[in-house]
Amino acid sequence: MDSKERFSSRVEDYVKYRPGYPAEALDSIMEQGGLAAESYVADVGAGTGIFSGLLMERGVRVMAIEPNADMARAAWTAHGPNELFGIMLAPAEDTGISSNSMDAITCAQSFHWFDMEGARAEFARILKPDKKVFLIWNTRKTSGSPFLERYEELLHSLGTDYGKVNHRNVTEEQLNAFFREGTMTLNRFSNRQLFDFDGVKGRLLSSSYAPQAGDPKHEPMLEELRRIFDETQEDGKVNFEYVTEVYSGLV
């Protein structure tokens, strides 16, 4: 499937169950980027606008770039019309944004879908001189609790192509090569979600590698998820633990 269309049927679950980002991560980005109210930021691969909304809460003017029409529609439903928010249906490699016009670029949970060379050239074009790019991921912990460990096993055993599309496949060497030499920094922040079973199910089905209804792996995956939840829950809830990673630098 075209990577730009992978989430079309998952928008509702994505809106409801994907994690947000900790305030400390936003504080760090605002400080590192020299951003303030009225700054212009391109949020590239904006999806349903989760990160765009957090930027707008700080008075930032956001131009969201999203190639998937269903995701873009959800972002507009969440944030438009608003003088701080605009959205363009476009890929990261050809945003349509004016040259030298952005104070920063953010890519939250999206950079691993881009063509890196094409994105780097486009980002260099649209940024003002010596302004930064921020690549942000909520990296789910895969160990530390029985639930986290068994959930990871579930994705490997019954996911469609989890090993191929996991953002962990983007190496630090690749990221260093993406940024201008000597400019990359990495900051980490704690994040988590607390879910009942419906939340865990929705979180799973929001992922592009979760088999959907009609796939022979769909029902077995949900049955195993139910078993994992029942055997690891505490007071009817389980914790999704994340490390929010923020890579930043010049391009």
Q: How confident is the model at residue 54 (pLDDT cuts 50, 70, 90)?
A: very high
- Residue type, position 54, single letter: L
pLDDT of residue 1: 46
Fold classification of 3-140+166-192+242-249 (topology level): Rossmann fold (3.40.50)
Cα separation, 132 vs 110, in Å, equals 17
Q: What is the pTM assigned to this prediction? A: 0.92
- Residue type, position 220, single letter: P
Mean pLDDT of all residues belonging to the chain: 94
pLDDT tens digits for range 151-181: 999 999 999 888 776 777 789 899 999 999 9
pLDDT tens digits for range 64-122: 999 999 999 999 999 999 999 999 999 999 999 999 999 999 999 999 999 999 999 99
pLDDT of residue 7: 57
Q: Where are the domains of the chain?
A: 3-140+166-192+242-249
Give the position of tokens 């608003």. 82
pLDDT: which is higher, 7 or 173:
173
Structure tokens at 193: 């979600």
Structure tokens at 86: 């605009």
pLDDT of residue 4: 56
